[in-house]
Structure 1
Amino acid sequence: MGPLTGLKVLDFSTLLPGPFATRQLADLGAEVLRIVSPRHPDLMQQFPTTDGYLNGDKRRVLLDLAEPGARDQVRPLLGDYDIVLEQFRPGVMAKFGLDYESLKADFPELIYCSLTGYGQTGPLKDKAGHDINYQALSGLASYGGSERPQLTSVPVADLAGSLNAVIAILAAVHERHRTGRGRYLDVSMAESALKLNAMEAPAVSAGTPSPEPGRGWLNGGLFYDYYQCADGKWVSVGGLEPKFIQALCDGLERPEWVERFLDPSPARQQALKVDLQAVFAGEVRSVWLQRLSGDCCVEPVLTLAEALQHPHFVERGVHKSFFRRLD
């Protein structure tokens, strides 16, 4: 019995973004029914454990929306469902007679979310894209790394779009409790990525030059970075505030370095990083984690397997959310 128990979601999405959004709703207690095409297999099925996590607990119905009569099979469901989430390009659901404009008169309480790459309007609305394109277009890729644009295995824009869809849906549910009416939600993954520039975009909008790779507080311009230990393993150093810097310097047995940490000049920060790397390279990681176990903002860089077994996550039970039966 989760907080969304009783809420019912009709899920027309595939791949990662839509299913991840409805997975979050399901984890909160919502009932999710997937409409699955028998002609177009979901690419996620090539990764059965991922598909099992995203979709394993959801009910599903095989239905080809392009077939005559498909609309007539979907519409009876809508009277019993609160939310529709779809991930087609703009205009596709209209071809099936299942877009919001075609449904809202008969189902005024329906909350209808379209999750797409570029949104329902604008010059890019019909263009294909993937996470790397959304990160590039949003500016994130231009300064996210220490040198050239960096690739990451985590599809940041896709997942940001997923979570924004969940937020928008829950806001619409709250509004419906007050007004009795549903709402159409247009969620864009590219715009979701753009909104992640929360630290830099206000300054740039006010006239500050765009951030550059390797020059900022969080992308290599300061000591805030990863350092390799004597055994080849890595640690993260993130304490930006003076009290954390003091604790770090004490743990490193370099109390005289506090002023170096607090000096933001690029040349001195880069020299500090060279010296820090030399210090960390002098001991294995387990020694450093013991010495820096206090409020130093130092943590090990774990493999994913190690992270899933970390005592903190195990005690809180969050690791269990990934262990789903296969669909």
Structure 2
Amino acid sequence: MDILRGIRVVNLALNLPGPLAANRLAHMGAEVIKVEPPAGDPMELYSTAWYREMAAGQELVRLDMKTPEGQARCGELLAGADLLITSNRPSVLTKLHVDWETLHPRFPKLCQVAIFGYPEPRGDVAGHDLTYQAALGLLYPPNLPRTLLADMAGAERAVSTALGLLFARERFGRSCFAKVVLSDAALEAAAPLRYGLTRPGGLFGGGSPEYNIYPAKDGFVAVAALEPRFRERLFAYLGGVSTAGELSTIFASRNADEWERLGEEVDIPIVKVLAAEGT
């Protein structure tokens, strides 16, 4: 998909979600220049394979943005760019001279997506995916989350925001600046919990027999027969049973693989639960 062919992106963001957003834009055809500090992106230490996957096909430039020389070289890159992605806190953007107020007069055609942890006036408060989730009740202590929900959702927000800025520039002839706030992305992702759907006993929290996880003979199966047509098909196939207890007894009678194959045959969302690594 080359819908962004001819668009040049400079990405100053490290770790997640900025590099993931840049990767998405690259897959759409954009030319991406990944700018890293002299020590590199910490993500390469955390997960070399994922780092390389996200940076694939991009030009890598290492600059010391704390020096005048590094900032001057960055300015040269921005002079030919359409979009800048940053993930520093507001005060750091100002110190590095890559805040919107500094850049826009110099590069009037440049759009900027700035990824922050919290909205103002807490823009300089330190945060991370774990703390965003913790503050919203998305954790089951002492277990750590199985995915980086805020960062992943923030990456998608950064992509959609970037596309919106580029569209607006083409449509109205002016470049713009937009913030992507990770705590807001986490808050939006927590809406099912906030509205009670995923709370214990909620529609998606164990309160619906047709939407649940059941022990099979050799593992577990996830059953998501929520829509009426799936629910009716499930109950009819299983002989009219409809309670969680009845379903639990039936699902325990076969292997998880068998149930998954059956789900495909009769068109019901049933899959084997993949055991999480480390459990």
TM over 0.5: yes
| Superposition deviation, residue 127 in structure 1 | 1.8
TM-score by length of 1: 0.77
Pairs within 5 Å for 1:43-54: 43-54=43-54
Change (3 A) 1:150 1:219: farther
Flag the 1:212–1:303 CA change in 2: closer, same or farther, 3 A: closer
Aligned to 1:127: 125
SS of equivalent to 1:129: coil
Aligned Cα RMSD in Å?
A: 2.3
1:96-151 deviations in Å (ceiling 9; x for gaps): 222110011121121111112113x12x32122221211233x3517xx7xx6864
Deviation per residue, 1:59-85 (Å, 9 max, x gap): 111101012322211112222100000
Where has structure 1 moved over 6 Å in runs of 4 or more? none
Matches of residues 176-215 of structure 1 in structure 2 within 5 Å? Answer: 176-199=169-192, 213-215=199-201
- Structure 2 residue runs without a partner (length 5+): none
Counterparts of 2:276 and 2:201, CA distance in 1: 29
Q: How does 1:10-29 map to 2 (within 5 A)?
A: 10-29=10-29
What SS does the corresponding residue of 1:91 show, helix, strand or coil?
Answer: helix
Counterpart in 2 of 1:55? 55
Deviation of 1:218 (Å): 0.8
Q: Give the number of equivalent residue pairs.
A: 275
Letter in 2 for 1:131: D
TM-score (norm: length of structure 2): 0.90
Structure scoring higher RCO (CA < 8 A, sep ≥ 6) equals: 1
1:279-318 superposed matches below 5 A: 279-293=250-264, 294-302=266-274
Q: Could you tell me which residue of structure 1 aligns to residue 97 of structure 2?
A: 97
1:18-65 superposed Cα distances (whole Å, 9 cap, x missing partner)? 100101001111111011101364233342111111112211111010
Bigger drift between 57-66 and 67-76 goes to: 67-76
Paired position in structure 1 for 2:217: 230
C-alpha displacement of 1:251: 2.7
AA aligned to 2:204 is: L
Q: Return the offset for 1:299.
A: 2.2
- 1:287 to 1:16, Cα distance in 2 relative to 1, 3 A: same
Residue 65 of structure 2 corresponds to 65
Partners in 2 of 1:11 and 1:220 — Cα distance?
42
Per the alignment, residue 151 of structure 2 pairs with: 158
Match of 1:247 among 196, 217, 233: 233
Matched, 1:172 2:165: yes
Stretch deviating more after TM superposition (287-296 or 186-195): 287-296
| Distance (Å, rounded) in 1 between the aligned partners of 2:47 and 2:39 | 18
CA drift of 1:274 comes to 2.9
Task: Give the equivalent residue in structure 2 for 1:314.
Answer: none
In 2: Cα distance, 1:135 partner to 1:176 partner: 34
Compute the displacement of 1:178 (Å).
Answer: 1.3
8 Å Cα contact 2:259/2:272 also seen in 1: no
Gaps of 5+ in 1: 204-209, 261-271, 306-327
Identity of matched residues, %: 30
